[in-house]
Structure 1
Amino acid sequence: MRPLSPREFRRLAKRLGIKVEELKDVEKVSIVLSDKVIEIINPSVSVMTVSGNTIYQVVGGEIKEVEREKPVEEIEISEEDIQLVAEQAGVSLEEAKMALMETKGDLAKAIMLLTSRKAQLSQ
């Protein structure tokens, strides 16, 4: 099968009921993923409408991948939680607070973490 010129493609698409329109002056297309953003600089973008569905075709351009920063979660830890973990694990309030921050406020995990660390240090 020989390649179609843009003109032949438009004619064929029109016969098949496909509406094709080229977007002019596109500067950037961004694809946002959970861990990164893919940016396509100065691409050629076509919009096709087929049976009521819209299809965007992005071709060419310089590609840049940018890692997304993970949002920092603010964890509110009460003084009672710090006191409880410190008493149960037999550590200072500061160590208990650090363990709670490390375990994102999970009391049981913080106590287990501290007791396992204490056991490793005593060996």
Structure 2
Amino acid sequence: MLRFNPNELKKQLKRLGLKNVDIETLEAEEIVIRKREGRELVLITPQALVVKMPGGALMLQAFAQQVEEREAGLETVGAEVSEEDVRLVAEQTGVSLEEARKALEEAEGDIAAAIMLIEERKRAGEGR
């Protein structure tokens, strides 16, 4: 993947006469750009820099090898949870189906993480 070099960008901006810029690397899972026609561009695992310009203006530079286009308002975060997974987590932990579903949603569909989350909550409840 192409990598940003903040120092090189700073040198280039200085050559353009922009001397007092602050560059920050942005760690992001995705960057969403909402288009006026009701669609979104989603940059998946981008590498990005936020450039703080003199006068308070911000410039964002981003690269991503994977870009998706979708209808605006659709979320990609959070996995769909199957009833089978909900039953499995509920059986393994002894909690209700509703509580198992909530933990699976929080764990983005990861069964092991959901079970660990429930067990941690149980331990925290015992300590009261």
Q: TM-score, normalised by structure 2?
A: 0.41
Q: TM-score, normalised by structure 1?
A: 0.43
